[in-house]
Amino acid sequence: MKEQPPSARKKSLTFFRQNWVEIDKSDFLFNLKKIKESLKKDTKILPVIKANGYGHGGAELAKEAVRAGVYGIGISSVEEGIQYRKAGIKTNLLMLSSVYPCDGLEVAVYWDLIPSLSNLHDIQFLASLAKKLDKRLEFHLKIETGMGRLGVSPQDAYHIIEKIAEMPEIKMSGMFTHFAVSDTNPAYTKNQLDIFNDIAKYAKKLGLKFISHVANTAALMTDKKTHLDMVRPGIGLYGLTPFDRVVSKALKLKPVLSWKARIINLRKVSAGFCVSYGRTFVTNKASIIAVIPVGYADGYSRVLSNKADVLVRGQRCPIAGRITMDMMMIDVTGVKGVSVGDEVVLIGTQGSQTIKAEELAKLQNTINYEITCAISTRVPRIIV
């Protein structure tokens, strides 16, 4: 394999395209600490670090959470579990999504992953696998209480739990549900909680011992009755809000992610100059147009063309023209001293100005979750 040229070695470059995400480890740990302080001392925490940590980088943040002391990590798939195991993460890894087809359970067991099961067929398959391996296998049972996605229906839950109690080869180490509107509808959430608690109470009467968990970030912030044995913070870990309004009980958390780039080209142009595909941006005066190496292939949505701002030298600068696959243009006419190599902030703070994921989400008519999850894996994540 060829070595890097001397110039690259000298500068210790790990990426060459000037477009990167910075993840503040101290802010992530601050958020985890704030969440922990809001709970009772014996309430466990399962940080949800799936989908590449909501776009923040999965394995590295999972390692930080493990060092901070948590029950385990919530993940979405067998593939994520394998990635985390190969990264040296030894804690409980709970797959919150279904494993289909059931053959995937054999792979999950091999990598010591805990599956979530939502029907009797999968439970029986796990029991047969436990007999085959002569090993007691654990799982968490998911109850459908009003999300309309995965989970055992309340009508079937009692019968299925009775069957589980008759299967000593497997261990139901957890039971959970997922709230649909804990950020907006307390009454509906309470009904979901009541349905779950009735089923959990019945399971305990049969002698089953397990961890109950229902609370996502919105629920754990607004209703202590949802904390139960364990909580599952997701978006809050990253300092982003699950609410589209001000909530008095919400914790004051710190955004963990900043998205940055550098100006790679500057062009002085006259009035009437057209920028990018479709000529949707035309200068109305003599202007300075900068190019940055960020495009929709990096996860910066084309919908933001001619709508969003970025920060250059602490000033807001509008996107000029359509965002292309690998690059975008910005109008830096009013920025004194602007030059090639200047740092550009797409999400984060520069000087006294801040651009939040929520701001971009509003412009795209979506949620902040999607903004960070959409950042492509080709954009390097740097832990700072």
Query: How many Å separate Cα 264 from the centre of its chain?
Result: 30
Q: State whether residue 49 is helix, strand or coil.
A: coil
Catalytic pick among 50, 63, 142, 260: 50
What's the CA gap between 121 and 376, in Å, rounded?
A: 37
Query: 289 - beta bridge partners?
Result: 267, 331
In terms of Cβ atoms closer than 10 Å to its own Cβ (0-12, 13-18, 19+), residue 166 is exposed
Going by C-alpha positions, the residue among 226, 203, 202 that lies closest to residue 215 is 226
State yes or no: cis peptide before 255, omega within 30 of 0.
Answer: no
Regarding beta strands 72-75 and 274-275, do their DSSP bridges make them parallel or antiparallel, or are they unpaired? unpaired
277 is catalytic: yes
Q: Taking a C-beta distance cutoff of 8 angstroms, is the pair 157, 203 a contact?
A: no
Query: 73 - beta bridge partners?
Result: 93
Q: Taking a C-beta distance cutoff of 8 angstroms, is the pair 262, 343 a contact?
A: yes
Query: 181 - beta bridge partners?
Result: none
Catalytic pick among 33, 135, 268, 277: 277
50 is catalytic: yes
Q: Taking a C-beta distance cutoff of 8 angstroms, is the pair 59, 51 a contact?
A: no
Element (H, E) at 107: helix 103-110
Could you give the angle at the alpha carbon of 32 between the alpha carbons of 197 and 379, nearest 5°?
A: 115
Q: Taking a C-beta distance cutoff of 8 angstroms, is the pair 120, 163 a contact?
A: yes
Please identify every residue annotated as catalytic.
50, 277
